[in-house]
Structure 1
């Protein structure tokens, strides 16, 4: 069964959008994600630039400026909604896990 368009985000997608709550260029996004996650999550250049193109086409981010060869991006209101929808989905999953663990506790 095909996944609906951006119904859920991959971990890398989530962190790219999270990083773009502030204006950043591609390499800055990669650095921010590594810092946010303590190196646990990394996004390669090819993946990142494909996501930036997709997100820009979907209206989740917009290019804010270009300086030298660096393109800067920032989350749009639609991107903010997608990010928070994913956050809420993750919280529901964590809540389900906590409930199951409590029910199984002796």
Structure 2
């Protein structure tokens, strides 16, 4: 992704951030989105006090509706998701460990 002029760490063209990992990226997400108003998380349930939106899929908290809403944006290309690793099923245990770091 191209970088904004005069910055080395912020990609150009980012106007919102979706956290689907819940691994502590909320502060960086707020910085990247230039404020909490354009940050949504599906899994960091304790981050609402930071001013971001926490979507759990309704009162049940299952997240199913929230994931459905995200997919509705991904499919037509309105939301781009960066995938850091693709692993064969044979190394699923290694991939799981990697996802926890």
**The two structures share one fold, judged by TM-score above 0.5:** no
TM-score where L is the length of structure 1: 0.31
Q: Which has the higher contact order (CA 8 A, sep 6+)?
A: 1
Q: Which has the higher strand share?
A: 1
Q: Which has the higher helix share?
A: 1
TM-score where L is the length of structure 2: 0.32
**Computing the radius of gyration over CA atoms, which structure comes out larger, 1 or 2?**
1
